Structure 1
Amino acid sequence: MPIFDFVCTSCQHSFETLVRGSTVPTCPACNSTTLEKQLTLPAIKTSGTQAKALHAAKQRDKNQGAERMHAQRQYELSHDD
């Protein structure tokens, strides 16, 4: 089931939607069916983009871990049991 990009010719709203079979998509802004299908380029994954994505994910996880440790320390300092 492909996802297509459309621009509404009535209100110029740009959106993407899942199109199943012979269903006619409508604009979510004005409910018009006069839409122009846009050319969509496929996503390309190379070893370079994959490495960058992996690096970004590792950095995000590292930052979240540091935030969790800080929150745990603050909790322990404020709760003397």
Structure 2
Amino acid sequence: MLTTWWLTYLARAGLSPAGIIDLARPHILLAGKCRDTFISLKKTCRKLGVSFWQYLIDRHGMGEQIIPPLQNIIAERATLFAPNY
């Protein structure tokens, strides 16, 4: 628990105690970024019609490597919709 003098120091410095506590726990920030990355990856797979779990298995070398990288799928579909672009 933060003591009163520390809270006074933070207030005078214009800092929030919540921000200081978050800096002391970087693993929480990393977990949030990891979660956001996987959510974004899952949404992209869904939009492209690719199985998210199968894609993860293929990327980690445990599958048959039949799914190409997502960037290749996106580039291929982009040329279908905008061939002169």
TM-score tier (shorter)? 0.3 to 0.5
TM-score computed with the length of structure 2 as normaliser: 0.36
Is the helix fraction higher in 1 or 2? 2
Higher RCO structure, 1 or 2 (CA under 8 Å, sep 6+): 1
